[in-house]
């Protein structure tokens, strides 16, 4: 560092001292502050002390785990320079799904001294027959972007792998890197283990780095707002912001279909930018993504429209600006994406929020205040997912075998399984050995067996091969490759979208307008389209929900407006909408729950403005509709967004239970939620993912993938068989728990109902839809009406409201 004229930050020295003492820990620092060198230089220095570099090659000593393949190549380059200077005889390698066959073969003969890998590739390393001999030399594991992994089953996969490595090397030192986490002490315990000795250390990397968050305010926000209605109005301002930027600009969207649409909008606004702007998301061909990443690093691209595929720590020094289209949904995501600009110490990070409807203007002001105050969301580890455990048991059985008592203790040392009972472990063991109560007759599900020494191993080569091809917890919907008839791959697209197309239909993908020709062997063949219009593919996956921290910040911002104060430019822009809301109804505040009623040609409407995020609102709307219908038989239509939900019925219903709080009772909550939803259908859908992780459903050999229909049929059959003949199957109860915990956020739903009972309930009888209720009406209309019909319907509603504003 001295030779380069660099001066270490105090937090970097703190990490070096901790590593020299053999301590594990978590480093939490701003993006671009120098976290990589803080940990890597400390590891290298300690490795050189323990194993002075010699001419002979060292065994594998350090693992660097990254959550994304795209990060692996960039990380390998970042680690390589210090390694060449400090230990030139040591080698550095990379092992991910993208690693070339020749490099894999070299590594199979001898591992490098340090290896950059992913959770999935690390688990595959554990399946090797001599895994212990190859990996017990590992003294250091660094987990990059820990905030991205901790809350998912991939993070659980990492916890189990670390437990295995610690068993082989009790002195293993583990470090995590993170930029955006609220629950730091717990996140460190999840990574390092509760029993870690010496005690792990939490290092906060505080450096002076300027963060600028502002909002691109539309010229005419209007008095009414609904999702996406400002999109086209923002096209030209976004293009102008990109034109003014000094370097490259990253334009983030939340979903791939939105990225495709905005790429087209920018090209329409500036056709002369063709070749200077690009598109990046996870469904694009790897070569295309690498070309875009190289263009960003070299500064040859003016702008890139991207999804979360570029959220994480790849260094793009030429990026000066970041634009976020629509709500970022959480404070952590705002900080993470802001850090993609000015990615170096001393440079400012700037993020501009681009609202797509007027309420998002208010949300933008709230998000900025919350980000400046550091109100970052916490992330929790999943609790003992048994599908991951089942997969891990087969993995360890392949990697040299295991003895049950020892492995139970090892698994319990992982945070996610600290409360795993021996009965649950024995059930998972029996499920791997015999397929549970209902699959005993099928040899394919007898995946492990005890050998003469009493070790559990995988006795069948076919089962071993299928397991290695299925390792991992990333479950996506079946995808088809998209190829030109003339040759060349564009990427992958969900089978469900292609199934809706007829020959000759046109659609936008990879920034191109394509004409669908045919499907053959899970490949969608296309040609360049000559027509000028097409549809944008929609990818499956639930919409992200507004975080509790950001929802609270929005309510606090609305409180300011309710007091007649408009100190922020965003509030001043949204003032016409907020004043109309106050005139027709009330402005919601943290101490009040706003209910609105409306009578229309459709029937009776009830709007509940709960500000708890769309996942909670879905559960709440279903629950309240079920409870109201239980009092008096009725049929309700539901609509939800991040700010509230709507119940509408052709038959009148009594809202008194809502006004006096009876409707919000938390007694019998679990029973009522399950009764109010098609819980078995939700659980069956979730079971499809669990079945794949647990190895019940095989997705196919390379070049011979199974279709989505086949996978659904297989998992559905298992679900029904287990329900009828194996009711004690713990994977069924896991599916129900995941629906409640992840899809409906039952704990947040309960907390929301409990909060309702502490609030003043304000009820307003509307004569016309209010600015807060109309977006919910539009959400429901979108399911029923074409774009033209929706536009005409909204015009009529707004004209009626304008004639009678009181």
Q: Is the pLDDT of residue 529 over 80?
A: yes
Whether residue 709 is predicted with pLDDT greater than 60 in this model: the reply is: no
Give residue 125's pLDDT.
96
Of the given ranges (235-239, 274-278, 584-588, 615-619), which has the lowest mean pLDDT? 615-619
Per-residue CA distances from 151 to 28, 157, 450 (Å):
17, 11, 34
Is the pLDDT reported for residue 446 higher than 80?
yes
pTM (two decimals): 0.86
Name the strand (E) or helix (H) holding 46: helix 35-50
Nearest to 557 by CA among 366, 327, 355: 366
d(CA 598, CA 626): 20
Contact 351, 392 (CB under 8 A): no
pLDDT digits (tens, 9 = 90+) for 97-150: 878 889 999 998 999 999 999 999 999 999 999 999 999 999 999 999 999 899
Grade residue 38 by pLDDT with cuts at 50, 70 and 90: very high
Q: Are strands 248-252 and 303-306 parallel, antiparallel or unpaired?
A: parallel
d(CA 124, CA 470): 10
CA–CA distance from 630 to each of 122, 633, 679 (Å)?
52, 6, 17
Q: Using the predicted structure, report yes or no on whether residue 46 has a pLDDT greater than 90.
A: yes
Instruction: Give the model's pLDDT for residue 314.
Output: 59
Report the percentage of the chain scoring pLDDT > 70: 92
Nearest Cα neighbor of 282 from 292, 295, 274 is: 292
Degrees to nearest 5, angle at CA 52 with 145 and 84: 55
Q: How far apart are CA 664 and CA 653, in angstroms?
A: 16
Look at 456-470, 510-524, 657-671, 755-769 and tell me which has the smallest mean pLDDT: 510-524
pLDDT, average across residues 652-656: 91
Q: Return the C-alpha torsion angle 549, 555, 557, 562, nearest 10.
A: -170
Which tokens go with 720?
């029904």
486-502 in b/e burial notation, b at 16+ Cβ within 10 A? eeebbbbbbbbbbeebe
Angle at 50 between CA 45 and CA 53, to 5 degrees: 75
Helices (H) then strands (E): counts for the chain: 30, 27
Quick one: average pLDDT of 544-569? 94
Q: What is the mean pLDDT of the chain?
A: 88
Q: What does the pLDDT read at residue 711?
A: 61
Task: Give the model's pLDDT for residue 582.
Answer: 95
**pLDDT at position 479:** 67
Residue 685 is predicted with a pLDDT of: 74
146-159 mean pLDDT? 95
DSSP-derived letter for residue 444 is: G
* % of residues, the chain, pLDDT over 90: 53
What is the band of 780 on the pLDDT scale with cuts at 50, 70, 90? confident
Whose CA is closest to 292, among 311, 283, 305? Answer: 305
Q: Quickly state the pLDDT bin for 508 (edges 50, 70, 90).
A: confident
Highest mean pLDDT among 372-376, 564-568, 616-620, 701-705: 564-568
Q: Which residues contact 332 (CB under 8 A, 6 or more apart)?
A: 147, 180, 181, 182, 376, 377, 547
Q: Is the confidence at residue 806, as pLDDT, over 60?
A: no
User: Which of 107-116, 192-201, 202-211, 496-505 shows the lowest mean pLDDT across its residues?
Assistant: 496-505
**Alpha-carbon distance 782 to 358, whole Å?**
19
For 729-754, how does the pLDDT look when each residue is reduced to its tens digit (9 = 90+)? Answer: 999 899 888 888 887 788 889 999 99
Q: What is the pLDDT of residue 267?
A: 93
The pLDDT of 780-790, averaged and rounded, is: 70
**Can you give the pLDDT at residue 671?**
84
Highest average pLDDT, of 170-174, 278-282, 289-293, comes from 170-174
Phi, then psi, of 584 in degrees rounded to 5: -85, -25
Give the model's pLDDT for residue 759: 94
pLDDT attached to residue 708: 53
- Please state, in angstroms and rounded to a whole number, the distance separating the CA atoms of residues 734 and 386: 7
Question: Rounded to an integer, what distance in angstroms lies between the CA atom of residue 168 and that of residue 182?
Answer: 32
Residue keyed to tokens 């004229």: 5
The lowest-confidence range among 26-35, 731-740, 781-790 is 781-790
pLDDT at 542: 44
Asked if residue 313 has pLDDT above 70, the reply is no
Peptide bond connecting 74 to the previous residue in cis, omega within 30 degrees of 0? no
Residue 591 CB neighbours (<10 A): 10
pLDDT tens sequence across 348-378: 889 999 999 889 999 999 999 999 998 999 9
Least confident of 145-159, 417-431, 719-733: 719-733
Closest CA to 605 of 750, 756, 356, 779: 779
Of 302-311, 405-414, 546-555, least confident by mean pLDDT is 302-311
**Range among 399-413, 476-490, 608-622 with highest mean pLDDT value:** 399-413
Decide: 242 and 303 in contact? Cβ < 8 Å: yes
């Amino acid at each position: 560092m001295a030779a380069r004229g660099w001066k270490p930050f105090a937090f970097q020295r703190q990490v070096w001292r901790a590593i020299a003492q053999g301590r594990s820990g978590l480093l939490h620092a701003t993006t671009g502050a120098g976290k990589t060198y803080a940990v890597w230089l400390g590891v290298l220095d300690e490795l050189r002390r323990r194993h002075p570099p010699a001419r002979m090659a060292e065994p594998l000593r350090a693992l660097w785990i990254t959550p994304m393949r795209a990060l692996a190549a960039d990380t390998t380059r970042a680690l390589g320079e210090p390694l060449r200077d400090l230990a030139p005889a040591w080698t550095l390698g990379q092992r991910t799904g993208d690693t070339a066959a020749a490099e894999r073969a070299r590594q199979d003969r001898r591992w490098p001294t340090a290896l950059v890998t992913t959770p999935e590739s690390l688990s595959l390393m554990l399946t090797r027959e001599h895994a212990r001999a190859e990996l017990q030399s590992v003294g250091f594991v660094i987990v990059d972007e820990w905030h991205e992994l901790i809350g998912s089953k991939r993070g659980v996969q990492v916890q189990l792998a670390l437990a295995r490595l610690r068993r082989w090397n009790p002195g293993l030192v583990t470090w995590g890197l993170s930029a955006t986490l609220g629950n730091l002490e717990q996140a460190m315990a999840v990574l390092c283990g509760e029993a870690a000795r010496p005690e792990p250390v939490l290092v906060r990397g505080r450096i002076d780095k300027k963060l600028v968050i502002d909002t691109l305010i539309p010229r005419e926000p209007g008095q009414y707002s609904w999702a996406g209605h400002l999109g086209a109005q923002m096209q030209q301002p976004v293009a102008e912001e990109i034109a003014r930027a000094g370097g490259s600009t990253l334009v983030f969207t939340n979903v791939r279909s939105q990225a495709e649409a905005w790429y087209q909008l920018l090209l329409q606004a500036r056709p002369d930018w063709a070749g200077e702007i690009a598109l990046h998301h996870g469904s694009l061909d790897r070569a295309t993504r690498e070309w875009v990443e190289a263009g960003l690093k070299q500064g040859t691209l003016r702008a890139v429209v991207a999804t979360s595929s570029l959220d994480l720590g790849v260094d793009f020094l030429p990026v000066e600006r970041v634009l976020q289209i629509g709500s970022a949904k959480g404070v952590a995501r705002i900080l993470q994406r802001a850090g993609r600009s000015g990615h170096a110490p001393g440079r400012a990070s700037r993020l501009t929020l681009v609202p797509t409807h007027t309420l998002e203007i208010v949300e933008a002001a709230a998000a900025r205040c919350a980000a400046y105050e550091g109100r970052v969301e916490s992330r929790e580890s999943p609790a003992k997912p048994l599908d991951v455990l089942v997969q891990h048991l087969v993995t360890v059985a392949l990697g040299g075998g295991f003895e049950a008592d020892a492995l139970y203790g090892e698994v319990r040392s992982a945070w996610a399984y600290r409360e795993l009972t021996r009965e649950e472990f024995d059930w998972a063991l029996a499920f791997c050995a015999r397929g549970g109560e209902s699959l005993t007759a099928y040899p394919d599900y007898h995946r492990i067996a005890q050998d003469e020494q009493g070790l559990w191993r995988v006795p069948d080569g076919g089962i071993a091969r299928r397991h290695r091809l299925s390792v991992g917890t990333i479950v996506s919907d079946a995808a088809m490759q998209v190829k030109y008839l003339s040759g060349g791959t564009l990427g992958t697209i969900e089978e469900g979208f292609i199934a809706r197309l007829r020959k000759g239909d046109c659609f936008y993908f990879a920034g191109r307008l394509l004409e669908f020709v045919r499907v053959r062997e899970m490949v969608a063949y296309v040609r360049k389209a000559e027509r000028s219009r097409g549809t944008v593919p929609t990818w499956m996956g639930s919409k992200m929900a507004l975080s509790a921290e950001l929802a609270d910040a929005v309510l606090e911002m609305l409180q300011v407006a309710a007091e007649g104060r408009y100190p922020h430019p965003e509030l001043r822009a949204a003032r016409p909408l907020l004043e109309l809301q106050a005139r027709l109804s009330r402005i919601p505040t943290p101490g009040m729950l706003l209910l609105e009623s409306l009578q229309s040609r459709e029937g009776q409407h009830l709007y509940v403005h709960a500000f708890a995020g769309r996942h909670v609102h879905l559960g709440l709307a279903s629950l309240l509709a079920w409870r109201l219908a239980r009092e008096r038989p009725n049929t309700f239509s539901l609509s939800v967004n991040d700010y509230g939900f709507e119940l509408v019925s052709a038959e009148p219903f009594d809202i008194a239970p809502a006004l006096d709080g009876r409707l919000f009772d938390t007694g019998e909550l679990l029973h009522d939620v399950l009764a109010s939803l098609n819980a078995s259908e939700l659980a069956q859908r979730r079971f499809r993912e669990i079945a794949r992780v647990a190895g019940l459903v095989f997705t196919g050999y390379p070049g011979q993938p199974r279709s989505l229909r086949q996978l659904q049929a297989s998992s559905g059959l298992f679900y029904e068989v287990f329900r009828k003949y194996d009711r004690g199957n713990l994977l069924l109860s896991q599916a129900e728990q995941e629906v409640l915990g992840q899809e409906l956020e039952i704990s947040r739903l309960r907390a929301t109902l409990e909060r309702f009972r502490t609030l003043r309930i304000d009820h307003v009888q509307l004569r016309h839809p209010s600015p807060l209720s109309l977006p919910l009406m539009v959400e429901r209309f979108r399911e029923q009406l074409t774009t033209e019909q929706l536009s005409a319907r909204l015009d009529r509603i707004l004209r009626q409201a304008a004639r009678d504003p009181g």
